[in-house]
Amino acid sequence: MCGIIGFSGVRKVPASLIMEGLKRLEYRGYDSAGIAWQVHSKIRIRKCAGKVDKLWEALPANLELRSGIAHTRWATHGAPTDTNAHPHTDSPQRIAVVHNGVIDNYRALKRMLESNGHRFTTETDTEVLAHLIAEQLNGSIEEAICRALREVEGTYGIAVIHAGEPDKIVAARRGSPLIVGIGEEGSFIASDAVAMVGRAERIVHLEDGDIAVISGKDHEIRRASGGIATISDWSRLDIPPTVADKAGYPHYMLKEIMEQPEALEDCFRGRVQREFGTARLGGLNMMPRDFLEIDRVRLLGCGTSYMASCVGARMISDLARIETTAEYAPEHRHSNPIVRKSALFFAVSQSGETTDTIMALREVMRKGGKVLGIVNRVASTIARETGAGIYVHAGFEYAVASTKTMLNTMMGLFLFGLLVGRMRDLSLARGRELIDAVSELPDKIRQILAMRDEFRSVAEHFSGSENFYFLGRGYSYPVAMEGALKLKEIAYVHAEGYSAAEMKHGPIALIDETFASVFVIPRDSVYERTLTNLQEIRARKGPVLTITTGETDDLESLSDRILVLPQTDEILLPFLTTVAVQLFAYEFAAQRGCPIDQPKNLAKSVTVE
């Protein structure tokens, strides 16, 4: 949940080359930041709590360097302070380390090192790595790192420099992503390819157990499986240079909300076959008979990926008549899961690097289960380890709070349900009807986005509220959970998502004139039942925002404000109501002046357990 960038060049370059890459990684962690570089066989370090801009201001004017490593942190061990910021060093400052991940046995290692005379100055687990490598130093730095890592339990993505070996950077990975890149100016190490955009031309992803050594344009990647990475392991870096451009919007989150119509089209374009009323998903690598043998589907995810999975589970159950459930990935992993030959699992993750989800899929695969990936990053760990699945084509997502990835993940799961449903009981007519409705979704989302002034007015009306329930039934229940999650993430208010039916079994006790409720109540098969739940809230004088479709006559007296969305097929309503709760959360947070793209305590990609 932190960002790493390292650079070794063929000549001196301005420090801005590294700092610009670090700035692009700030969405992965922004508690503190630091950089280490070499001057005359000595290591120099600057680090501080706070954002990357603060570090930039602390650097010497016109600083140039041949090599360096930098880090932006999301704290796990130790508070976000100047001292705890990375890079960390051994006591003589001959070795500097930046690290993503968690060293599980760092306390035992620290006691051992202290008994050998090492003295520690921080609260972090990472400092142990610097001292442990120094303890093993007897020859080259890469040999010392290999020996040190044999004693480490846990996860890591590290980049290391040694004062005695100028311009050399050594990187190693276990469970935390690292990428090597090559460009005209030299070689890079980074935890995310976005840090190298415009600089590196070709990249290679490290696998667990790999060691990479770079120096200028020289590079060597030693595979854990034996041997050296070859030219066939490398691919072009094809992220556009405009990836970090807000395109005139005040926040990345709003930009990405507004991109959703086009992103959704990118997800289903070429994948629907109206003639046959079905979908085509070639990346699944499954034969038609394989789908007929499935009798249950498990969707494993965390956060917004879990919410998308909850919607997807209902879709697959309805379309394919297969028992489908969404489960929190870490809970599933530690539940001693039952894995049957007839079950199909999906690992669902925007980044494809979510550690909890990766560990869950590995547990299923260890038991012989079949796991497919649903990701937005083609070369991610989940994509590589599953080898098959659905790429959701949402484009790069920079804001911490996921928006367009949720919609496209739901679409990927819908297309899977349509594909399998048409192999089973779903009629050709119904398949065509759904495909026609899907093709209309982007324009209907554009209609919702055109209502932004209305959403802003509603957010202003509720901006003084500190407590919210988000309530819905059927397909609207997981959308309500997602709405509550978004409001918590970016506006820092207490919000809970419930089934509207469950609300009266306890949560209603909190309702009064100050406790607001957002009802997701489109005109669907459970509308009348949800309306009864709304009346129960109103009877207790609770303020209500209603998000609905169609006529509003029976809602006027029960609602403080109403947002009316376009109508669509019931199974597709979440694509519209999700955009609505996203936009409400955004406008609410904007009213309160919150740091929407970088909410406190959160990071985009959760790569620690």
Q: What is the pLDDT of residues 270-281, one digit of tens each?
A: 999 999 999 999
Angle value at C-alpha 548, between 545 and 552, nearest 5 degrees: 90
Closest CA to 8 of 63, 64, 66: 66
Q: Which residues, including other chains, have CB under 8 Å from residue 514's CB and lie 6 or more apart?
A: 465, 466, 467, 543
Helix ranges restricted to H, 179-302: 252-258, 260-268, 288-292
Domain ranges of the chain: 3-244, 252-448, 451-609
Q: Average of pLDDT values for 507-512? A: 90
- Distance CA(62)–CA(46), nearest Å, equals 15
CATH class of 252-448: alpha beta
Q: Looking at residue 295, what is its pLDDT?
A: 93
Q: Is this prediction's pTM over 0.75?
A: yes
Q: Looking at residue 323, what is its pLDDT?
A: 95
Helix ranges restricted to H, 367-500: 381-386, 404-423, 428-449, 452-462, 476-491
Q: Looking at residue 504, what is its pLDDT?
A: 84
Q: Looking at residue 230, what is its pLDDT?
A: 80
3-state secondary structure of 588: helix
> Is residue 609 very low, low, confident or very high in pLDDT (cuts 50, 70, 90)?
low
How many other C-beta atoms can be found within 10 angstroms of the C-beta atom of residue 335? 12
Please answer whether residues 169 and 189 qualify as being in contact, where contact means their C-beta atoms are separated by less than 8 angstroms: yes
For the domain with range 451-609, which CATH number is right: 3.40.50.880, 2.60.40.1080, 3.30.450.30, 3.40.50.10490? Answer: 3.40.50.10490
Q: Looking at residue 224, what is its pLDDT?
A: 83
Q: Looking at residue 7, what is its pLDDT?
A: 96
> Is residue 606 very low, low, confident or very high in pLDDT (cuts 50, 70, 90)?
low
Average pLDDT value over all residues in the chain: 92
Q: Average of pLDDT values for 457-478? A: 96
β-bridge partners, 221: 212
Q: Which residues, including other chains, have CB under 8 Å from residue 210's CB and lie 6 or more apart?
A: 172, 173, 221, 222, 223, 224, 229
Tokens of 285: 């690598």
Please tell me which residue, 495 or 245, carries the higher pLDDT value. Answer: 495
How are beta strands 42-49 and 186-190 bridged, if at all? unpaired
Give whole-number Cα distances, 162 to 33, 43, 46, 165, in Å.
Answer: 20, 8, 16, 6
> Above 70 in pLDDT, residue 1?
no
> Is residue 599 very low, low, confident or very high in pLDDT (cuts 50, 70, 90)?
confident
Q: Average of pLDDT values for 246-269? A: 95
Q: Looking at residue 106, what is its pLDDT?
A: 92
3-state secondary structure of 187: strand
How many other C-beta atoms can be found within 10 angstroms of the C-beta atom of residue 141? 22
- Distance CA(243)–CA(20), nearest Å, equals 13
- Distance CA(584)–CA(465), nearest Å, equals 13
> Above 60 in pLDDT, residue 122?
yes
Q: What is the DSSP letter of 27?
A: G
Which conformational region is residue 506 in: left (phi greater than 0), alpha (psi within -120 to 50 degrees), or beta?
left
How many other C-beta atoms can be found within 10 angstroms of the C-beta atom of residue 283? 16
Q: What is the DSSP letter of 281?
A: -
Q: Looking at residue 607, what is its pLDDT?
A: 54
- Distance CA(258)–CA(246), nearest Å, equals 11
pLDDT tens per residue across span 310-361: 999 999 999 999 999 999 999 998 888 889 989 999 999 998 888 899 999 9
pLDDT tens per residue across span 85-108: 999 999 899 999 999 988 999 999
Q: Looking at residue 241, what is its pLDDT?
A: 75
Query: Does this chain's domain 3-244 share its CATH topology with 451-609?
Result: no
Domain over 3-244 is classified CATH 3.60.20.10: yes
Please answer whether residues 386 and 413 qualify as being in contact, where contact means their C-beta atoms are separated by less than 8 angstroms: no
pLDDT tens per residue across span 293-319: 999 999 999 999 999 999 999 999 999
Please answer whether residues 55 and 30 qualify as being in contact, where contact means their C-beta atoms are separated by less than 8 angstroms: no
Query: Position of tokens 């804001």?
Result: 399
- Tell me if the bond preceding 574 is cis, omega within 30° of 0: no
- Distance CA(369)–CA(344), nearest Å, equals 7
The residue type of 360 is: A
pLDDT tens per residue across span 10-35: 999 999 999 999 998 887 777 899 99
Active site residue 504: no
Portion of the chain with pLDDT greater than 90, in percent: 74
> Is residue 232 very low, low, confident or very high in pLDDT (cuts 50, 70, 90)?
confident
- Distance CA(499)–CA(517), nearest Å, equals 12
3-state secondary structure 55-120: HHHHCCCCCEEEEEEEEEECCCCCCCCCCCCCCEECCCCCEEEEEECCECCHHHHHHHHHHCCCCC
- Distance CA(552)–CA(448), nearest Å, equals 17
> Above 90 in pLDDT, residue 151?
yes
Q: Average of pLDDT values for 4-13? A: 94
> Above 60 in pLDDT, residue 608?
no
Range from 79-83, 372-376, 406-410, 450-454 carrying the lowest mean pLDDT: 79-83
Helices 573-591 and 476-491, packing angle to 10 deg: 20
> Above 90 in pLDDT, residue 369?
yes
**Marked catalytic residue, from 255, 404, 486, 604:** 604
Portion of the chain with pLDDT greater than 70, in percent: 98
pLDDT tens per residue across span 380-409: 889 989 989 999 999 888 888 999 999 999
Please tell me which residue, 180 or 243, carries the higher pLDDT value. Answer: 180
> Above 90 in pLDDT, residue 435?
yes
Closest CA to 388 of 326, 423, 346: 346
- Distance CA(247)–CA(369), nearest Å, equals 44
The torsion angles phi and psi of 314, rounded to 5 degrees, stand at -65, -40
How many other C-beta atoms can be found within 10 angstroms of the C-beta atom of residue 282? 9
Active site residue 594: no
